[in-house]
């Protein structure tokens, strides 16, 4: 029995080491592209700070990776979340979206704020500073409305 446990632990250790060799997605461009939402629309410093703190890690081309993101399987899970988040909404590419898609994404942001579905609870569990206060939500809702209204005027 002791031998079986020792073999099992050795196999698990070897597998843990092997999975560390899996390549990582790097979502760290370091620059702010011309299509970034902050370059396309007027965003107050307050709104920009909220977006960067609570949204940009998964919804932009610049993720601030914590230390544990270097260790598999956490790295794989984070890469997957970031990939899915960017597929849904990418603030770094927002200006390249059509006006219709921009309105749709802004509406979805408002709905997510109403529902409290973003940021994900699995994200805020570890990143406590990303939790949106009621004041943050009201600030973002006001910005979403103003930005949506400006899009309607451009039509």
Which of 69-73, 109-113, 116-120, 143-147 bottoms out in mean pLDDT, i.e. has the lowest? 69-73
Kindly give, in sequence order, each residue whose CB lies less than 8 Å from that of residue 118, ignoring residues fewer than 6 positions away.
54, 55, 109, 112
Domain extent at residue 38: 2-154
Would the pLDDT of 77 be above 80? Answer: no
Kindly report the CA angle at 126 between 67 and 73, in degrees rounded to 5?
55
Work out how many domains the chain is built from and give that number. Answer: 1
- Model confidence pLDDT, tens digit, residues 139-148: 999 999 988 8
Would the pLDDT of 17 be above 80? Answer: no
Region 132-145: what's the mean pLDDT?
A: 93
Kindly state the tokens that stand for 1: 């029995």
């Amino acid at each position: 029995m002791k031998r079986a446990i020792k073999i099992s632990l050795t196999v698990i250790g070897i597998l843990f080491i092997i999975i560390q060799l899996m390549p990582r997605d790097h979502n760290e461009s370091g620059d702010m592209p011309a299509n970034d939402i902050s370059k396309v629309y007027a965003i107050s410093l307050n709104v920009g700070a909220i977006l960067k703190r609570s949204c940009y890690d998964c919804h932009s081309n610049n993720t601030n990776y914590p230390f544990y993101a270097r260790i598999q399987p956490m790295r794989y899970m984070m890469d997957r979340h970031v990939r899915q988040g960017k597929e849904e909404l990418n603030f770094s590419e927002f200006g390249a979206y059509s006006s219709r898609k921009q309105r749709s994404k802004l509406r979805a942001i408002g709905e997510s704020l109403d529902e409290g579905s973003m940021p994900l609870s699995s994200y805020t569990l570890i990143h406590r500073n990303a939790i949106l206060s009621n004041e943050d939500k009201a600030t973002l809702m006001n910005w979403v409305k103003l930005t949506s209204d400006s899009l309607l005027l451009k039509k």
